[in-house]
């Protein structure tokens, strides 16, 4: 039997690695959410934004197109590893 890493939760090392990655992403997401909430509160407290406006904001068409391109590039980069060499 092979020696196991210090923190091992599953017999399958790939599954262990995937869970570790998911937990790291979850932690990063929480940090991002926390910072975003703080920024929203600061802007609202200073009267720069109305918090309700965040939910109803509609960017201009050129901004929506740029956002869509950025989202598509992000998704493509994310999926590149899943597709592997056969893509």
Q: What is the pLDDT of residues 1-15, one digit of tens each?
A: 556 566 777 888 888
Does 86 have pLDDT greater than 70? no
pLDDT value at residue 15 = 87
pLDDT value at residue 49 = 94
CA 79/CA 69 separation, integer angstroms: 15
Domain boundaries, the chain: 1-56, 58-87
Task: Supply the pTM of this predicted model.
Answer: 0.64
Count the residues in the chain: 87
Considering the chain, what is the average pLDDT of its residues?
A: 88
Compute the average pLDDT of residues 58-78.
95
CB 44 within 8 A of CB 50: yes
Compute the average pLDDT of residues 49-65.
94
């Amino acid at each position: 039997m092979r020696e196991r890493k210090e923190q091992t939760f599953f017999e399958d090392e790939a599954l262990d690695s995937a869970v570790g990655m998911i937990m790291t992403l979850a932690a990063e997401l929480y940090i991002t959410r926390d910072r975003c909430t703080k920024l929203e509160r600061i802007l609202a407290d200073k009267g720069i934004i109305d918090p309700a406006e965040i939910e109803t904001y509609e960017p201009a068409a050129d901004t929506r197109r740029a956002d869509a391109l950025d989202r598509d590039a992000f998704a493509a980069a994310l999926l590149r590893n899943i597709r592997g060499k056969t893509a």
